[in-house]
């Protein structure tokens, strides 16, 4: 099995804090602590970004600053943001911010999970399996 070098930076965008009271960083830490992540966790630096649906203009501005503030290899838009019809407009706005940053010449993969506790699989699918590891 080959190696991924250097460590990949992943940003997880979520409404977890608003919906469950738990910041997405806690959800990220819990999912990456599971046995399914043991083989991969040292290859990734996964950070969370909590959306605030109560102040969308500020949260989108903060998201853009976060995306521009460092080199991200992947951005995962979480299930809490896109899994519900009533959040479609916010989801579109988040993707629009991502695309704006991409137009500035940054290269990042856009990732999607299949459920609220599925943060490892999309990263592995897009960075490890895509490289034939």
Q: Return the pLDDT at 5.
A: 52
Q: Which of 131, 122, 18, 21 is nearest to 75 (CA)?
A: 122
The residues near 40 (Cβ < 8 Å, ≥ 6 apart) are 120, 123, 124, 128
8-131: what fold? Rossmann fold (3.40.50)
Q: Return the pLDDT at 74.
A: 98
Q: Return the pLDDT at 133.
A: 53
Per-residue pLDDT reduced to its tens digit, 66-113: 999 999 999 999 998 988 899 999 999 999 999 999 999 989 999 999
Per-residue pLDDT reduced to its tens digit, 22-67: 899 999 999 999 999 999 989 999 999 999 999 999 999 999 999 9
Three-state secondary-structure class, residue 96: helix
Confidence of residue 4 (pLDDT cuts 50, 70, 90): very low
Phi–psi pair at 123, nearest 5 degrees: -70, -50
């Amino acid at each position: 099995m080959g190696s991924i070098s250097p460590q990949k930076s992943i940003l997880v965008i979520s409404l977890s804090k608003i919906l469950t009271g738990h910041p997405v960083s806690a959800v990220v830490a819990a999912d990456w602590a599971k046995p399914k992540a043991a083989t991969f966790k040292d290859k990734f630096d996964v950070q969370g970004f909590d959306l605030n649906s109560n102040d969308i203009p500020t949260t989108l501005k903060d998201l853009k600053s976060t995306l521009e503030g460092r080199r991200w290899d992947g951005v995962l838009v979480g299930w809490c943001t896109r899994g519900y019809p009533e959040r479609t407009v916010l989801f579109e706005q988040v993707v629009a911010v991502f695309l704006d940053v991409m137009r500035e010449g940054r290269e990042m993969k856009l990732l999607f999970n299949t459920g609220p506790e599925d943060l490892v699989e999309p990263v592995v699918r897009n960075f490890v399996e895509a490289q034939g590891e």
